[in-house]
Amino acid sequence: MNSLLTKFTFTDELTDVIENCKGVFVPTSKAELYDMVFGPEHADVYDVVFDVPGKGKIKEADVVRCKNGASVNFAEDYMRRREPDCMRIADDKPTDKKRFADVYGYKFDKLRRETMDWFKTQELILMPFNSGGNQYGYGSMLVCPKQCAFFAFALAHLQGFVSAEETEGYKPRAIIYVAPPFRHTHFDGKQVVVHNRLDDCHEVFSYNLYPGPSAKKGVYSVLLDIGEQEGWTTCHTSAGRLITPYENELVIMHEGASGGGKSEMLQDIAREPDGEVLLSTNTVTGEKTYLHISSTCKIEPVCDDMATCYPGVQNNSGKLVLVDGEDGWFLRMDGVTHYGCDPVYERICTEPKEPLCFFNMEGHPGATLLIWEHTLDSNGKPCSNPRAIVPRWDVPNIVKEPVEVDVRSFGVRMPPSTRDNPNYGIMGMLHIIPPALAWLWRLIAPRGFNNPSIVTGNELKSEGVGSYWPFATGKRVKQANLLLHQIVDSPNTRYVLIPNQHIGVYKVGFAAEWISREYLARHGGAKIRREHLEPARCPLLGYAMKDLTIDGQKIRSKFLRVDTQDRVGTDGYDAGAKILTDFFRKELAKFDTPELEPLGKQIIDCFMNGGTLEDFEKITPTGL
């Protein structure tokens, strides 16, 4: 037996698997793993094939050795994207998610035994890693067949890789089991990830090889589960430290449903060829509005998607403290369509310090993979989900320590809205809101207009608590209470709303986010004097800006208060406000349970009873 196995503490069940399987490999470096990715022959092109009972040999993916890493392409279009309805709960602990037995008509115990017996027929990789990154993560373990070593290699980049030589008495707090053939024999070819929450270990059974639902979001589920037990949560957010041209600093975290602008918050302002910034295009007349911004903030990224907010790293500042919950960023490159689109990530991915892992991109043996050359789906169109795993330590100006958050912003994709075609796109460029309203927005997390990740149309949908609800395994009210405590315990962090795509009749893309970011950094966060604010016509939007000046240029009121737009007016605005308010009313009814904290019930009751902005501020002051 591999001597490194003596460093781990396993259950009798896993010990039985290890002792009776066809072989075990325990990596001590990512370089060792990379050498295994291309099979026993170390080929330039390796097909990942499994012998499936009753179906013969099925090819899951091919892996190509490129100069800059491994290019992984799945045989089926379906496997190139995360299945949103793949989570099943195996245990009997409290949950609002689908239980395995309810969906399939039998208890998971039977399939679990079959899975463990199948592992005994395989050569296995056992890889220790830290869920949540190496800085503050939780000791975990991957168990997967040796022939899909690319999965282990991807996980080693995403999470905190742990060398087995540096462990002693290592008892996993979470285990990911990977058994791809079972999707063909038990799940009609669908992606299924089963979560089994034991008292001392969170087990994730991944019955597919796309890492999104397991190595990425499955680990997110693990962190949310641990946080439920320990009294903290993992926010679905990007965050950055902004250094203004005057050398002032501001830390902003930007939350929101998919498409809400999290990645864009860490991007530089997009400029026209002449250096101007396109603020808006009138969707009726086509008229464009430009700004001249000479100097912008330097952005020091903190996290891209997951921020762990551990109580153990809190301080006495009265501000939320967070740290990146990942060691690698699973970046979608669909927006990189040609050379020069994103010079930072093009450089990192073209000349990496170590081999990287790419998905759904064209890879040719011995050649450099280019992140703008995306694999074609069977319809002849480029795959909409090309991915690169970028080590966070290679991102320029990356922040390595925990940070105190000055401003928490929430982004929402807004549709065009006019008097003739009213919609909920009534949010101005920047709104200041009290903590009570900030909590409500995080409970609902609207997906919003024209979402690139969702194909269910443009009607309002809720992503759920914190915008991370799709990954949580427990009860939504538990997460609602955790978020409420997090907000109340951080009285010196301020809250804002920022739209993207449209402000009333104007198409703005992400320009509103970039301009608001620059404005907040120059004004010490949301410490804006009340004479610059007025209550928004819709109470859900808190305070609207009376005026906003950036680099000496005044932003016109029509971008700040949509009811002042000629093509919207108060009647078009009120019609849109009703759409938004009715949606919140419908979604908030889900939280009317006895388990909700009294303060949370008070806030929701205030909204349901038509509370004003003043009413919300009496519950939780804005801090202006």
360 pLDDT higher than 80: yes
Tokens 């245990």 sit at which residue? 91
Please report whether residue 391 resides in a domain. no
Please report whether residue 7 resides in a domain. yes
Please report whether residue 599 resides in a domain. no
457 pLDDT higher than 70: no
Both 448 and 512 in a single domain?
yes
Indicate the SS3 state at residue 378: coil
Both 192 and 288 in a single domain?
no
Question: How many Å apart are CA 448 and CA 1, to the nearest integer?
Answer: 54
Find the CATH number of the domain harbouring 302: 3.90.228.20
Give the DSSP letter string of 264-282.
Answer: GGGSPPP--TTS-EEEEEE
Question: How many Å apart are CA 261 and CA 241, to the nearest integer?
Answer: 16
Both 179 and 215 in a single domain?
yes
Q: How would you classify the pairing of strands 549-550 and 553-554?
A: antiparallel
Both 439 and 463 in a single domain?
yes
Query: 531 Cβ partners below 8 Å, 6+ apart?
Result: 546
Both 246 and 102 in a single domain?
no
Both 226 and 102 in a single domain?
yes
Please report whether residue 122 resides in a domain. yes
Overall number of domains in the chain: 2
Tokens 């949540």 sit at which residue? 132
Q: For residue 75, which amino acid is it?
A: A
Closest CA to 158 of 222, 63, 62, 253: 222
Q: What is the pLDDT of residues 101-157, one digit of tens each?
A: 999 999 999 999 999 999 999 999 999 999 998 778 899 999 999 999 999 999 999
Question: How many Å apart are CA 216 and CA 522, to the nearest integer?
Answer: 35
Both 487 and 553 in a single domain?
yes
Find the CATH number of the domain harbouring 217: 3.40.449.10
The token pair at 521 is 């950094």
Please report whether residue 302 resides in a domain. yes
Both 198 and 247 in a single domain?
no
Please report whether residue 56 resides in a domain. no
178 pLDDT higher than 50: yes
Q: What is the pLDDT of residues 47-86, one digit of tens each?
A: 999 999 999 999 999 999 999 999 999 999 999 999 989 9
DSSP letter for 260, please.
Answer: S
Please report whether residue 547 resides in a domain. yes
The token pair at 398 is 């990356």
pLDDT at residue 448, rounded to an integer: 77
Helix residue spans in 489-561 (DSSP H): 511-522, 557-560
pTM, entire model:
0.94
Q: For residue 518, which amino acid is it?
A: E
Q: What are phi and psi of 164, to 5 degrees?
A: -60, -30
> Facing residues of 413 across strands?
500
Both 238 and 222 in a single domain?
no
Among the three residues 230, 248, 269, which one is the final residue of a domain in this structure?
230
Among the three residues 230, 264, 288, which one is the final residue of a domain in this structure?
230
Both 562 and 460 in a single domain?
yes
State the sign of the Cα–Cα–Cα–Cα dihedral 585, 591, 596, 597: negative
Please report whether residue 351 resides in a domain. no
1 pLDDT higher than 70: no
Q: How many helices (H) and strands (E) does the chain have?
A: 15, 30
Rounded mean pLDDT, 500-520: 96
Both 406 and 513 in a single domain?
yes
Both 256 and 226 in a single domain?
no
Q: Average model confidence (pLDDT) for the chain? A: 93
Question: How many Å apart are CA 437 and CA 535, to the nearest integer?
Answer: 13
44-82 in b/e form (b: 16+ CB < 10 A) is eebebbbebeeeeebebbbbbbbebbbbbbbeeeebbbb
Provide the residue range defining the domain that includes 524.
234-327+401-592
Q: What is the pLDDT of residues 462-487, one digit of tens each?
A: 999 999 999 999 999 999 999 999 99
